[in-house]
Structure 1
Amino acid sequence: MKQKKRIYEVIVEQLKEFFLNGELKQGDKLPPERELASRFNVSRTSIREALRILEINGVIEIRQGGGSYIKKTGFPCSSEELSAVISKAENHLVYEMLELRRAIEADSAYLAAQRATSQELNKLRKALELMAASKNDVESGLKADFNFHLNIVQATHNSLFIELIQTLSEQMEDTIRATRRHRLSDPDRAHDTIDEHKKIYAAIASGNSTLAKQLVEEHITRIKSELSEYFLTGLGENK
């Protein structure tokens, strides 16, 4: 089944039209995020993601507090070239999102171990059970994995943490999808994934805040390291 395009992919394709119809040339400043969001009828967060993709690929330069400027006009025209641009940027964004997740989720696990209710622990356990039972169901496993991490943040009872992770939910799901695609292709790493989640759950359920935080940090750091190795070999470029 063909995967639905993400919002930022559509925006990148629409921004391409600026280049092709001559509306923008090298050195020109892009309209403000607010104006682009209104023009494309999307959130400013989605606009930022699309601009970040263009920046990573050297198409634009984002100046802190000064807007975005066209760096080169040789924008990829074919769907294959555009797909390669987005794929390259997504690899980079996965790393950035993993760094952000490590910071948020490690402290969330620490707080969840202190504050999780029996109902919240039950949600974590059910997500874990579904993850273990979804070995051959990609989407079900992805949803269970995502819910496990989301439920940890919700168990902090910190409204700002919860609001932030909900805002980043699409990017977080994309990151989990990328890491699961890699990890689950190796039976040993697939087993490690379940085992790591089980240990995190056990630490939270037992109220061991320090261990819960440590295990989440180790879990995400390990994934980032594995992906770095994976992409460096070139195996992940066309996945």
Structure 2
Amino acid sequence: MPQPKKKTYQVIIDQIKEYFLTEQLQPGDKLPTERELASRFNVSRTSVREALRKLEMKGIIEIKQGSGSFMKTSEFQLLGDELSTTIVHAENKLVYEMLELRRALEVECAFLASQRATSEDLEHIRQAIEKMKAAENDVELGLEADLHFHLSIVRASHNSIFLQLVQTLSEHMQDTIRATRRQRLANPERLQDTIDEHKQMYLAIVAGEGELAKQLMEKHITQIRKELAESLLN
């Protein structure tokens, strides 16, 4: 079924957002005037005005009477919102796409954590594993501990951009962990396998073995993605 054609102001909104990202505008930065935007996008000022009002309603910009329009949202927050929206509208691909993102992101974070983690960071990761062990019969506690483990590794990477991205998508990340744990732990014997995988990653990070930490994280995420795919075929 063909997608409905976007209204003019919706097209302009997309173009303005792209402009925000390209120009790397920050909160407080002033936007071009309506006349300048209309000329840039070859549309009427009325359409530009409507698009700006919509962006103001979303909290992305602030329109000050007599002064112009100003950014309220940072470039990174805008990108995170766009990515979240994309994921929400692609529900059928959510788990797989999030696992692809996690593999790309967390593999590098595992390496960085092995080089940068403080004793406090390592303790948070260790505590997450202990909580996973204690949550054998508590689904929600196990989910929380699993998420805490992976978030702790991202924090231990001490890369603020990675951390902001993961925090922006934390709810979707939690959904993927819930889906994979539900499938994997349908067999209670797999709980120990899951704990062992996380423990091996932790030990590699503690030992400062970056390449091993990367390999173990990639193997872990690749394996749960494979198991999930196989379960859907059965």
TM-score range normalised by the length of the shorter chain: 0.5 to 0.7
Give distance in 2, aligned partners of 1:138 and 1:126. 17
Give distance in 2, aligned partners of 1:198 and 1:37. 46
Give distance in 2, aligned partners of 1:50 and 1:104. 19
For 2:89, the aligned partner's letter is L
Segments of structure 2 that go 5 or more residues without pairing to the other structure are 15-50, 60-80
- In structure 2, the CA distance between the partners of 1:38 and 1:133, relative to structure 1 (3 Å rule), is farther
- In structure 2, the CA distance between the partners of 1:104 and 1:47, relative to structure 1 (3 Å rule), is closer
Give distance in 2, aligned partners of 1:227 and 1:161. 26
Give distance in 1, aligned partners of 2:195 and 2:56. 43
Aligned to 2:146: 145
- In structure 2, the CA distance between the partners of 1:114 and 1:30, relative to structure 1 (3 Å rule), is same
Q: CA RMSD for the aligned pairs?
A: 2.4
Contact 1:109 1:213 in 2 (8 A): yes
Give distance in 2, aligned partners of 1:180 and 1:154. 22
**Structure 1 residues 132-158: Cα deviation after superposition (integer angstroms, max 9, x where no partner):** 110111111101100100000100111
Segments of structure 1 that go 5 or more residues without pairing to the other structure are 1-24, 54-88, 234-239
Give distance in 2, aligned partners of 1:105 and 1:136. 27
For 2:205, the aligned partner's letter is I
Contact 1:123 1:151 in 2 (8 A): yes
Q: What SS class does the counterpart of residue 217 from structure 2 fall into?
A: helix
Aligned to 1:7: none
Give the total of aligned pairs: 172
Q: Does 1:194 align with 2:195?
A: yes
Contact 1:127 1:147 in 2 (8 A): yes
TM-score (norm 2): 0.67
Q: Does 1:167 align with 2:175?
A: no
Q: What SS class does the counterpart of residue 187 from structure 1 fall into?
A: coil
Contact 1:184 1:190 in 2 (8 A): yes
Contact 2:107 2:214 in 1 (8 A): yes
- In structure 2, the CA distance between the partners of 1:163 and 1:187, relative to structure 1 (3 Å rule), is same
Q: How does 1:36-185 map to 2 (within 5 A)?
A: 44-53=82-91, 89=92, 92-185=93-186
TM-score (norm 1): 0.66
For 1:28, the aligned partner's letter is P
- In structure 2, the CA distance between the partners of 1:27 and 1:207, relative to structure 1 (3 Å rule), is closer
- In structure 2, the CA distance between the partners of 1:179 and 1:26, relative to structure 1 (3 Å rule), is closer
Deviation at 1:167, TM superposition (A): 1.1
Contact 1:203 1:212 in 2 (8 A): yes
For 1:49, the aligned partner's letter is I
Q: How does 1:23-42 map to 2 (within 5 A)?
A: 28-30=4-6, 32=10
Task: Report sequence identity in percent.
Answer: 53
Q: What SS class does the counterpart of residue 124 from structure 2 fall into?
A: helix
Give distance in 2, aligned partners of 1:105 and 1:133. 24
Deviation at 1:93, TM superposition (A): 1.5
- In structure 2, the CA distance between the partners of 1:27 and 1:97, relative to structure 1 (3 Å rule), is closer
Deviating above 4 A after TM superposition, structure 1's stretches of 4 or more consecutive aligned residues are 33-41, 43-46
Contact 2:87 2:94 in 1 (8 A): no
Contact 2:84 2:169 in 1 (8 A): no
Aligned to 1:81: none
Q: What SS class does the counterpart of residue 202 from structure 2 fall into?
A: helix
Aligned to 1:228: 229
**Structure 1 residues 101-128: Cα deviation after superposition (integer angstroms, max 9, x where no partner):** 0110011000100100000100000011
For 2:86, the aligned partner's letter is R
For 2:223, the aligned partner's letter is R
Decide which structure has the larger Cα Rg and report it: 2
